Structure 1
Amino acid sequence: MTARSYEVRTYGCQMNVHDSERLSGLLEDAGYVRAPKGEPADVVVFNTCAVRENADNKLYGNLGHLAPAKAERPGMQIAVGGCLAQKDRDTIVRKAPWVDVVFGTHNVGSLPVLLERARVEQEAQVEILESLDVFPSTLPTRRESAYAAWVAISVGCNNTCTFCIVPALRGKEKDRRPGDVLAEIETLVGEGVIEVTLLGQNVNAYGSDMGDREAFSKLLRSCGRIEGLERVRFTSPHPRDFTDDVIAAMAETPNVMHQLHMPLQSGSDTMLRAMRRSYRQDRYLGIIERVRAAMPDAAISTDIIVGFPGETDEDFEQTLHTVREARFAAAFTFQYSKRPGTPAATMDGQVPKEVVTERYQRLLALQEEISWAENRTQVGRTLEVLVAEGEGRKDHDTARLSGRAPDNRLVHFERPADGVRPGDMVSVEITYAAPHHLLAERPPLAIRRTRAGDAWERRTATPAPSPGVLLGMPSVGAPVAVGAPTATAGCCD
């Protein structure tokens, strides 16, 4: 019999992207094969996000587009998982009765069984657990990159930010044991991975359920002792838990990159209080000051919400002031939108749309100016760039390649005559800076072939098309989420 094909469509933050790698791994472990790009799949899985205001409309619109295809293809199945599935539960099947499986954030591993049960019983299967049944990192994973990998160190969040629905959907924070995290990283390095990004909804609160407040800094230092691991990143930390021992670990561990994405959300103490963010402007800027004292070359990025309920002109000016003082390399800026089930949705003082839009445009213009100025400081520097796959949308037309500098800035460089593979390292001299990227207009000064490049070469010896990710939190390095002007902050904040 021909193996059934699958496609996973992902929406949301890095945690969802990593969950989709697990969904793909589970399906392939169960005998499914990835559908070639552009061809219909026997099983389509939606891994949803509930952060954005119009998440529901997008999901039901996409499900509606698939209904005729499913009617024409007996045996085709549709599954919906992720945060929106956790929130809406039976509503999905009621609005889209052609959906076969609905599963939540706590039972990703159930997907293959639920699909088979739906096929045999000929009726929709809805399984939503209220707590985690197995830590997701123990599940099979089909990673999208041969050279870089996500590694979840915790799931869930103990914060109560009034704008965020994620803790209600992902549950309380649950940490993995350090030995399990390090064992996974060592396995990945053995497979050719040279860069890992540690993931958590509140990544630097790691250790809270183990009773060790310095667990995260200890984990960073332990990563520094893994031979062959060249780059370590993490996202997203919370200012409340960002302590000096983490700054010291970043500065003193050679393979921990001098790059920090730390959500601000607002520069106004009044708004931070209303958001239940347990820090104030002076504490936030103090952290930035200490990070730069320890790592002068650090690139710092952030998330900012514009138009939170009750925000006045004075509150917004405090946000602009904080942005000027912090001089972020990039900022992912979002217009506030109501999320049912969050305290902020029913707060007084909802800001008129036209006011939010005007403030948003002013913030964009300021951050664009700062990002450009910060990027211009890189001109003339020689940077070692990890060559990436698919980062430069115009690479084919411009005869260039693209990759990430140590501080995660996006770099485009002239394609060398000698073969360079994704996962290899090139040293380039930066000749031009734009607000969103750097450019090296001359050939690389040096090329270092790596185990990661070898791993990429092995993986692509038999090409396998990728379905891609439709919508995710932008990679750190792009100043603004231009395509999402009506979004709230991402879930990893």
Structure 2
Amino acid sequence: MNVHDSERLAGLLEDAGYVKADQGGDPDLVVFNTCAVRENADNKLYGNLGQLAPAKTRQRDMQIAVGGCLAQKDRETIVRKAPWVDVVFGTHNIGHLPALLERARVERKAQVEILESLETFPSTLPTRRESAYAAWVAISVGCNNTCTFCIVPALRGKEEDRRPGDVLAEVEALVGEGVIEVTLLGQNVNAYGSDLGDREAFSKLLRACGQIEGLERVRFTSPHPRDFTDDVIAAMAETPNVMHQLHMPLQSGSDTVLRAMKRSYRQERFLGIIKKVREAMPDAAISTDIIVGFPGETDEDFEQTMHVVREARFTNAFTFQYSKRPGTPAAEMADQVPKAVVQERYERLIALQEEISWGENKKQVGRTLEILVAEGEGKKDDKTDRLSGRAPDNRLVHFNPSLRGVDGKHSTRPAEPVRPGDVVTVEITYAAPHHLLAEGPALGVRRTRAGDAWEKRTAAPAAKPAGVMLGLPTIGAPAPQAAEPAGGCCSTD
């Protein structure tokens, strides 16, 4: 959700005349889009703002804006702690950013604007999408749940659903631009329809996506076990372009802890969903979220979580040590678990899940898979002469871009280079806990409209239009002046 909001912010700023900053100097504008789910988000923001102070001192016209969930939560606190910030905006008014920046520039004072309810659904705003071949599509915003550890409903508000026709129109437009994979987004995606009076709206939406010609892969995140119904499982199993991949947040395997969390399901219900999904889709890859050390969690409670992990055999798990979020009921609960105990449990959980992930990935060895080639997924691709991408079940695969010869032994480079957005057929030869390898030559390459779109986007750009620069400057104290001019560098975000 935050990544997609950042794409909206980039689109708004480009429409207002900003251009992405080149590496090598201080930009005119830096925007932080923040999260508030975990405590380290606060620390990271204020640390980065502190490091930006010298850049602001040497370039007084540079503007700094802070938005998103942490801005919605902290409001005036941000300007008090970092008075060099120019704009603070919340989750409900990202469309106001260009106007707030201009007002701050004219009035020479910080602008803080936080709305309590959504003014414009974000998907109506312009977008600068990060990918030419895969796209996020928001179907709802906000959440009606009251989980005691979560501050998101207080910051993003009650759930609001888009009309199905608007969602499908956006998907069709994206496909027309070359996108072949879409991920439907919602804070509680399978509660979609609560605003529309249709409990089966989400499964109907999945099936409707299956009718869009040229759309090859449909995913969604994140569902809630409470609202996960049989019609959604059927839609996943029966709609060819809906991937057999499911992210199902567990949070805890203990009924006692789930009750304290106000998670309206229990262990039996959760494992029942997993069983039904696997019966309908034996090849489904299922991932989860788990919180370790929730207030009051006992050794027996934690062992119940370990039991569910063993039973469910998740492909992977996003595991978190509980951290207090001011403003949530859990932050005020008694029996906060000591840090040392949380750490020990966390390490045990990680070790178990690593073992399971590796075991599940080993089952993929020998399989032939179609890989959607990705950009930037393989950090070592340049050194290994490999490319990387995602299998239909979203597993990360690194592969050899050479093509197998007619005799099955010799290999050659494809006549045309393999591009992000193209689809490569490979045979899996090795499994690690978090990725798969296809070390032999690829069995085939299918050049796609998505690859064409990526190639068009990355072609030599035309002359850059006039505008102000958006990016992240070199931070900290300026480097000493050298005897001769030297090129600088900066990172953009």
Query: Is the pair's TM-score, using the shorter chain for normalization, greater than 0.5?
Result: yes
Structure 2 distance, partners of 1:161, 1:341, is 12
Contact 1:165/1:342 (8 A) holds in 2: yes
Note the alpha carbon deviations across 1:409-462, whole angstroms, 9 max, x for none.
000001221210000000000000000000000111010000000000000003
Q: Please say if 1:43 is aligned against 2:29.
A: yes
Structure 1 distance, partners of 2:340, 2:87, is 40
- The residue type equivalent to 2:85 in the other structure is V
Contact 1:153/1:206 (8 A) holds in 2: yes
Structure 2 distance, partners of 1:441, 1:37, is 35
- The residue type equivalent to 1:448 in the other structure is R
Note the alpha carbon deviations across 1:216-240, whole angstroms, 9 max, x for none.
0000000000000000000000000
Contact 2:290/2:318 (8 A) holds in 1: yes
* Equivalent residue for 1:381, pick from 353, 367, 380: 367
Structure 1 distance, partners of 2:18, 2:69, is 24
SS in 1 for 2:61: coil
Within 5 Å, give how 1:443-458 maps onto structure 2.
443-458=441-456
Q: Which residue of 2 aligns with 1:260?
A: 246
Structure 2 distance, partners of 1:460, 1:259, is 30
Per-residue deviation, 1:41: 1.3
Per-residue deviation, 1:115: 0.3
* Equivalent residue for 1:211, pick from 189, 193, 197: 197
Contact 2:30/2:471 (8 A) holds in 1: no
Q: Please say if 1:459 is aligned against 2:490.
A: no
Contact 1:37/1:466 (8 A) holds in 2: no
Within 5 Å, give how 1:56-205 maps onto structure 2.
56-205=42-191
Structure 2 distance, partners of 1:54, 1:446, is 44
- The residue type equivalent to 2:451 in the other structure is G
* Equivalent residue for 1:425, pick from 423, 426, 434: 423
Q: Which residue of 1 aligns with 2:220?
A: 234
Contact 1:379/1:431 (8 A) holds in 2: yes
Q: Which residue of 2 aligns with 1:251?
A: 237
Q: Which residue of 2 aligns with 1:441?
A: 439
CA 1:466–1:216: 2 relative to 1, 3 Å? farther
CA 1:291–1:38: 2 relative to 1, 3 Å? farther
Note the alpha carbon deviations across 1:374-414, whole angstroms, 9 max, x for none.
00000000000000000000000000000000000000001
Unaligned runs of 5+ residues in structure 1 are: 1-14, 469-493
Per-residue deviation, 1:466: 11
Q: Which residue of 2 aligns with 1:483?
A: none
Per-residue deviation, 1:64: 1.1
Q: Which residue of 2 aligns with 1:406?
A: 392
Contact 1:272/1:278 (8 A) holds in 2: yes
Per-residue deviation, 1:38: 5.1
Per-residue deviation, 1:50: 0.9
Asked which structure has the greater CA Rg, the reply is: 2
Structure 1 distance, partners of 2:349, 2:456, is 45
Per-residue deviation, 1:74: 2.9
Structure 2 distance, partners of 1:359, 1:60, is 30
Contact 1:78/1:101 (8 A) holds in 2: yes
- The residue type equivalent to 1:160 in the other structure is T
- The residue type equivalent to 1:72 in the other structure is R
Within 5 Å, give how 1:244-393 maps onto structure 2.
244-393=230-379
TM-score with structure 2 length normalisation?
0.91
Q: Which residue of 2 aligns with 1:3?
A: none
Structure 2 distance, partners of 1:397, 1:55, is 32
Contact 1:217/1:249 (8 A) holds in 2: yes
State which drifts further: 398-407 or 47-56.
47-56
SS in 2 for 1:441: strand
Structure 2 distance, partners of 1:398, 1:102, is 44
Unaligned runs of 5+ residues in structure 2 are: 403-412, 473-493
Structure 2 distance, partners of 1:43, 1:269, is 48
TM-score with structure 1 length normalisation?
0.91
* Equivalent residue for 1:33, pick from 19, 24, 30: 19
Note the alpha carbon deviations across 1:298-317, whole angstroms, 9 max, x for none.
00000000000000010000
Contact 1:304/1:334 (8 A) holds in 2: yes
Contact 1:157/1:167 (8 A) holds in 2: yes
SS in 1 for 2:109: coil
Contact 1:161/1:276 (8 A) holds in 2: yes
Contact 1:22/1:141 (8 A) holds in 2: yes
